[in-house]
């Protein structure tokens, strides 16, 4: 009568679609909550999900109900001291007292006005980066590369046994068998009918030679039908694979930061958050993202992450040193043919007087041709200096691939980031 | 009877042990004449249990955001440890599908098998409401059909259009049941075939209704309806349509809403059919849980007496059983209404007691069952009642005393609450009456019916709310009317009627001048 089934290996995300529907429906609510939380929490813990709450009244599913008022009788358990006819003060705030049978007001004050739920990390980041896009992804993807991968490309008549498409082969065989048998079967039926009519005739009228002839014919046809092969090499079909060029799915992100004396730890924190956001964003678009940290004061140096953010340096500032180092690293290790290259630079805007024009030259002549995108954030409450002006000219020359923004406080990071990567209309 | 060896000890389970226990329970259940559908017992993980929860007990559901909302709230509560998942979930189908969570201990699994696979299962098969309103062998097929059909509509008409329609239907799903007509069971294939036929015919039907002038209804009713002052020529002297008030709002819309397209009608129908499937469950909560709890308790004790389970397991069971049937007092911070497990278990146990060891009080109150065969009586009670009538019939003074029930009258014309009855001789009957009403669906939900569709005038639809003891409609009224308006396509009017007087009128869309003054 009873049997057990182990369903544990089955898929466990049966509700995923419904969950997505819900998130989609309350998109604006959730987005607001996510934006608040991005500004509130330190960007270093972007890696976890987020608790989101939505006012219950916004997501209620209305049904006809009794409202408070009128006369109702409620039966409750646990009488201790009441006697019939006792009069009690109406509990304050309870409106019309208990409901009717079910849904008595919750005593746990929380959780009634707000519908609270958690977003997973993926969903959270989806909302964080919602409406943003990496500019010029398509350019690199269209470029033909040596890398290829096999993809399904229909059915072919030739192939290796390992790729036999059984269903298609059997279908072909079936069709062939039907096709080849049909005329034989028809002839066979006719011969049998003829034989039968012949045999039904009066023995005197029978034509023995005709009967023998028909019998031989039937035998011949039966043999031929039997000889039709169940599966012929002609029937075989193979899954066909072709090699398709694979778009490059790897990116390098160069983090360039000024570490001269004028950059305080607060500046660096802001820069770090900005880099992190960019990193997370790139990570969602590419399978593999490599990071290169380049810091500079008067000379540039490639360092590891720890040193990049936390070692202290002093001295003047020559931005071009970093840019030329980036250029040489690209030459040495990251061919633009195979890598999507991104540079994110953070600085307080200081630069050695004559250097800004060198930067302009370097960018214009060499770097900008290789890069996917260059973002520059200037972390300063003060007026812009020569570097900003030089970069402004680069922006004018490469409006599609160069972006710059100013950040004053940590709260600006997310809005600035959104501004830099805002989805651009195709116009 | 010779004591047998325990089938297993400890808290770990495996499939052999579960099967052995299942066989033992089946054997005992036969002895107690529990008639069941075949069991399909599925072991699932806690995540899968949350999925099952979210689809409100349907093994296969169509997609809708509200199920996602349900899932998120369950997930959140579970993750934060505010709530344990139910140990089981059982579906009224044939075979009867029961979900067991893998995290459960051996005791839990055995308890759940007894509770769900024999308790609930036999209730589904035996109770008259389930027999009348649901068709266990067709439901899974129907759910498959519904899911496919709605997915097809989403493809064809867009997710959003379907979602809005479902929102509107869900708002009315409690009013999608024929209470008096027996529905006929059909399979998914049959349903799909009929659906196509319906699609073709239904639309012509609706057009016919709206294009022909209804025949003049003769008789008193039409006459009394006629307003001689304003309509001396009798242009509007015709029968009301529908001639009888219709309680099944969704059915009425499916058949009569002028503007719905055929696929929309079909979706209205799907929601209506599913509402009907759940209709008995909403009316037999106390009985269903009480019955299942009574049987897991009885079966576990029998197995212990027979030596099939050891002391350790039994103690663990008793602890768990006790918490299931605990009833918080009304003034406790954890009070959350009457626990249906507690009330149902107390009542079924008490029926058994009345049969086996009746007191003088029982003989006076229950002359027919006092001293009768308890198993016979219990089965009779399970087969033929719903919560409302079950309480009316079987709530004994002893249970009222044990639970210390009291009834409180809350009247908005009175500035204090009044204790109407307590657990004493004068109060038993009144408490029984009040509790029975409390579980009556007709008292829990406002009584709203279709009164008139103005097919000759502005096409407005008028509903009547029969108000009971001056209890008004709640605030959610207008959102529901809005949904109703989406389905009907023309203005919706609602009248609250008490003692034949119209006490309030509502309208959607809200007329312009009213909006200004509001």
ipTM of the complex: 0.81
B208 is a domain residue: no
B255 is a domain residue: no
B333 is a domain residue: no
User: What per-residue confidence (pLDDT) applies to B182?
Assistant: 56
Task: Please name the residues in contact with A416: beta carbons below 8 A apart, sequence gap of 6 or more.
Answer: A274, A377, A405, A406, A407
Contact between A60 and B334 using a beta-carbon 8 Å cutoff: no
Task: Please give the residue of chain B at the shortest CA–CA distance from A18.
Answer: B68
Contact between A76 and B330 using a beta-carbon 8 Å cutoff: yes
Task: Please give the residue of chain B at the shortest CA–CA distance from A58.
Answer: B479
Contacts of A116 in chain B (CB under 8 A): 76
CA dihedral (B70, B75, B77, B82) positive or negative: positive
Contact between A65 and B45 using a beta-carbon 8 Å cutoff: no
Sequence-distant contacts of B302-309: CB under 8 A, at least 24 apart = B302/B28, B303/B21, B303/B24, B303/B25, B303/B28, B303/B110, B305/B1, B306/B1, B306/B3, B306/B4, B307/B3, B307/B4, B307/B5, B307/B6, B308/B4, B308/B6, B308/B7, B308/B21, B308/B24, B309/B6, B309/B7, B309/B107, B309/B110
Could you tell me which residue, B286 or B208, shows the higher pLDDT? B286
Contacts of A52 in chain B (CB under 8 A): none
Pairing of strands A238-245, B447-453: unpaired
Q: Name the 3-class secondary structure at A329.
A: helix
Burial state string for B375-399 with b = 16 or more CB within 10 A and e = fewer than 16: eebbbebbeebbbbbbbbbbbbbbb
Q: How close does chain A come to B53, measured CA to CA in Å?
A: 10
Task: Please give the residue of chain B at the shortest CA–CA distance from A64.
Answer: B477
Quick: pLDDT tens for B260-276.
Answer: 999 999 999 999 998 88
Contacts of B408 in chain A (CB under 8 A): 73-76, 88, 97-98
Average of pLDDT values for B313-325? 91
- Helix B46-54 vs helix B65-79: crossing angle, to nearest 10: 140
Total tally of structural domains belonging to chain B: 3
User: What per-residue confidence (pLDDT) applies to A426?
Assistant: 44
Closest CA to B113 of B270, B284, B303, B262: B303
Query: Within this chain, do residues B373 and B455 fall inside the same structural domain, yes or no?
Result: no
Q: Number of A:B CB contacts under 8 A?
A: 286
Contact between A24 and B65 using a beta-carbon 8 Å cutoff: yes
Residue A142's pLDDT band, with cuts at 50, 70 and 90, is very low
Residue A43 has pLDDT above 60, yes or no: no
Q: Which residues span the domain enclosing B90?
A: 15-127
Contact between A67 and B475 using a beta-carbon 8 Å cutoff: yes
Contact between A75 and B438 using a beta-carbon 8 Å cutoff: yes
Tokens representing B137 are: 């062998």
B365 is a domain residue: yes
**Is 3.90.25.10 the CATH number for A250-420?**
no
Task: Please name the residues in contact with A20: beta carbons below 8 A apart, sequence gap of 6 or more.
Answer: B68
B405 is a domain residue: yes
Q: How close does chain A come to B215, measured CA to CA in Å?
A: 34
Query: Within this chain, do residues B378 and B422 fall inside the same structural domain, yes or no?
Result: yes
At B68, which helix (H) or strand (E)?
Answer: helix B65-79
Task: Please name the residues in contact with A379: beta carbons below 8 A apart, sequence gap of 6 or more.
Answer: A267, A270, A271, A346, A347, A348, A349, A406, A407, A408
Sequence-distant contacts of A321-324: CB under 8 A, at least 24 apart = A321/A296, A322/A256, A322/A258, A322/A294, A322/A295, A322/A296, A323/A256, A323/A359, A323/A362, A323/A363, A323/A367, A324/A300, A324/A362
User: What per-residue confidence (pLDDT) applies to B219?
Assistant: 42
B214 is a domain residue: no
Task: Please name the residues in contact with B321: beta carbons below 8 A apart, sequence gap of 6 or more.
Answer: B111, B293, B296, B297, B300
**Distance separating alpha carbons of residues B448 and B67, to the nearest angstrom:** 26
Average of pLDDT values for A12-21? 81
Among the ranges given (A84-93, A100-109, B213-222), the one the predictor scored with the smallest mean pLDDT? A100-109
Quick: pLDDT tens for A349-358.
Answer: 888 878 888 8
B90 is a domain residue: yes
Contact between A22 and B415 using a beta-carbon 8 Å cutoff: no
Question: Given its phi and psi angles, is residue B370 left (phi above 0), alpha (psi -120 to 50 degrees) or beta?
Answer: beta
Quick: pLDDT tens for B137-191.
Answer: 888 899 999 999 999 999 999 999 999 999 999 999 889 887 766 555 555 666 6
- Distance from the first to the final alpha carbon of chain A: 68
Task: Please give the residue of chain B at the shortest CA–CA distance from A77.
Answer: B405
**Do A51 and A117 touch, CB atoms closer than 8 A?**
yes
Query: Within this chain, do residues B488 and B390 fall inside the same structural domain, yes or no?
Result: no
Residue A104's pLDDT band, with cuts at 50, 70 and 90, is very low
Contacts of A8 in chain B (CB under 8 A): 43-45, 48, 102
Quick: pLDDT tens for A380-418.
Answer: 888 888 888 888 888 888 887 888 888 888 777 777 887
Contact between A7 and B42 using a beta-carbon 8 Å cutoff: yes
Helices (H) and strands (E) in chain B, counts: 23, 9
- Distance from the first to the final alpha carbon of chain B: 78
Closest CA to B299 of B100, B89, B95, B122: B122
Task: Please give the residue of chain A at the shortest CA–CA distance from B50.
Answer: A15
Query: Within this chain, do residues B456 and B369 fall inside the same structural domain, yes or no?
Result: no
Task: Please name the residues in contact with B171: beta carbons below 8 A apart, sequence gap of 6 or more.
Answer: A61, A62, A63, B479, B480, B483, B484
Q: Which of B41, B439, B480 sits opposite A62 (nearest CB)?
A: B480
Please state the pTM of the whole predicted model: 0.73
B483 is a domain residue: yes
Residue A303 has pLDDT above 90, yes or no: no
């Amino acid at each position: 009568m009873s049997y057990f089934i182990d369903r544990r290996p089955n898929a466990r995300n049966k509700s995923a679609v419904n969950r997505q529907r819900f998130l989609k429906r309350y998109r604006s609510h959730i987005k607001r909550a996510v934006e608040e939380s991005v500004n509130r929490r330190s960007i270093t813990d972007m890696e976890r999900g987020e608790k989101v709450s939505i006012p219950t009244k916004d997501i209620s599913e209305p049904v006809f109900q009794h409202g408070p008022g009128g006369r109702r009788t409620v039966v409750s358990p646990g009488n201790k001291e009441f006697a019939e006819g006792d009069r009690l003060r109406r509990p304050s705030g309870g409106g019309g007292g208990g409901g009717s049978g079910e849904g008595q007001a919750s005593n746990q004050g929380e959780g009634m006005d707000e519908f609270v739920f958690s977003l997973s990390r993926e969903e959270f980041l989806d909302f964080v980066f919602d409406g943003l896009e990496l500019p010029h992804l398509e350019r690199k993807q269209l470029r033909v590369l040596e890398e290829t991968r096999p993809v399904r490309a229909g059915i072919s008549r030739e192939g290796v046994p390992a790729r036999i498409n059984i269903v298609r082969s059997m279908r072909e065989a079936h069709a062939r068998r039907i096709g080849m048998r049909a005329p034989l079967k028809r002839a066979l039926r006719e011969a049998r009918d003829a034989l039968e009519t012949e045999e039904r005739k009066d023995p005197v009228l029978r034509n023995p030679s005709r009967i023998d002839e028909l019998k031989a014919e039937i035998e011949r046809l039966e043999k031929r039908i039997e000889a039709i092969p169940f599966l012929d090499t002609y029937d075989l079909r193979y899954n066909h694979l072709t090699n398709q060029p694979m778009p490059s799915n790897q990116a390098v992100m160069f983090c360039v930061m000024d570490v001269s004396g004028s950059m305080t730890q607060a500046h660096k924190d802001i820069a770090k958050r900005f880099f992190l956001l960019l990193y997370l964003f790139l990570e969602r678009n590419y399978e593999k993202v490599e990071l290169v940290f380049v810091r500079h004061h008067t000379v540039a140096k490639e360092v590891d992450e720890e040193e990049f953010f936390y070692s202290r340096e002093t001295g003047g500032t020559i931005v071009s040193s970093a840019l030329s180092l980036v250029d040489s690293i690209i030459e040495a290790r990251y061919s633009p043919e195979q890598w999507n290259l991104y540079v994110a630079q953070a600085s307080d805007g200081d630069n050695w007087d004559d250097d800004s024009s060198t930067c302009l030259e370097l960018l214009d002549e060499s770097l900008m041709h290789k890069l996917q995108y260059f973002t520059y954030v200037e972390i300063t409450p003060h007026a812009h200096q020569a570097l900003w002006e030089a970069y402004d000219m680069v922006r004018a020359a490469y409006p599609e691939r160069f972006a710059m923004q100013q950040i004053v406080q940590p709260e600006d990071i997310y809005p600035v980031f959104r501004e830099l990567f805002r989805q651009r209309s195709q116009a | 009877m010779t004591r047998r060896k325990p089938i297993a000890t400890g808290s770990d389970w495996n499939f052999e042990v579960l099967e052995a226990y299942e066989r033992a329970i089946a054997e005992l259940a036969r002895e107690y004449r529990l008639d069941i559908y075949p069991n399909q017992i599925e072991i699932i993980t806690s995540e899968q249990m949350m999925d099952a929860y979210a689809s409100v007990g349907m093994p296969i559901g169509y997609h809708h955001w509200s199920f996602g909302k349900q899932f998120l709230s369950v997930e959140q509560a579970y993750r934060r440890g505010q709530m344990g998942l139910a140990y089981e979930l059982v579906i009224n189908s044939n075979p009867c599908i029961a979900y067991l969570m893998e995290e459960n201990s051996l005791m839990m699994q055995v308890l759940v098998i007894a509770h769900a696979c024999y308790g609930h299962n036999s209730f589904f098969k035996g109770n008259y409401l389930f027999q009348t309103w649901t068709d266990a062998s067709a439901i899974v097929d129907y759910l498959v059909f519904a899911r496919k059909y709605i997915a097809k509509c989403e493809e064809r008409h867009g997710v959003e259009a379907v979602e809005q329609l479902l929102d509107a239907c869900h708002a009315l799903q409690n009013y999608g049941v024929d209470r008096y007509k027996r529905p006929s069971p059909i399979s998914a294939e049959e349903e799909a075939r009929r659906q196509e036929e319906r699609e073709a015919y239904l639309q012509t039907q609706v057009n016919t209704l709206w294009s022909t002038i209804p025949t003049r209804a003769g008789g008193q009713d039409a006459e009394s309806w006629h307003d001689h002052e304003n309509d001396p020529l009798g242009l509007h002297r015709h029968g009301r349509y529908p001639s009888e008030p219709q309680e099944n709002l969704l059915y009425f819309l499916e058949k009569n809403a002028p503007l719905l397209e055929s696929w929309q009608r079909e979706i209205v129908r799907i929601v209506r059919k599913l509402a009907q499937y759940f209709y008995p469950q909403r009316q037999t909560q106390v009985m269903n849980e009480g019955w299942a709890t009574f049987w897991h308790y009885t079966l576990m004790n029998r197995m212990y007496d027979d030596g099939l389970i050891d002391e350790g397991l039994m103690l663990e069971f008793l602890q768990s059983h006790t918490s299931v049937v605990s009833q918080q007092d009304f003034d406790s911070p954890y009070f959350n209404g009457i626990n249906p497990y507690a009330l149902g278990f107390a009542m079924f146990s008490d029926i058994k007691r009345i049969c086996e060891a009746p007191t003088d009080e029982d003989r006076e109150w229950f002359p027919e069952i006092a001293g009768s065969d308890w198993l016979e009586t219990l089965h009779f009670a399970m087969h033929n009642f719903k919560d409302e009538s079950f309480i009316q019939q079987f709530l004994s003074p002893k249970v009222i005393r044990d639970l210390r029930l009291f009834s409180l009258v809350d009247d908005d014309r009175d500035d204090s609450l009044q204790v109407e009855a307590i657990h004493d001789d004068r109060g038993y009957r009144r408490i029984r009456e009040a509790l029975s009403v409390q579980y009556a669906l007709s008292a829990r939900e406002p009584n709203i019916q279709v009164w008139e569709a103005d097919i000759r005038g502005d096409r407005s639809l008028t509903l009547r709310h029969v108000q009971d003891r001056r209890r008004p409609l709640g605030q959610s009224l207008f959102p529901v009317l809005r949904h109703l308006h989406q389905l009907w396509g023309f203005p919706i009017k609602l009248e609250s009627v008490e003692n034949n007087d119209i006490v309030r009128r509502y309208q959607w869309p809200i007329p312009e001048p009213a909006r200004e003054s509001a």
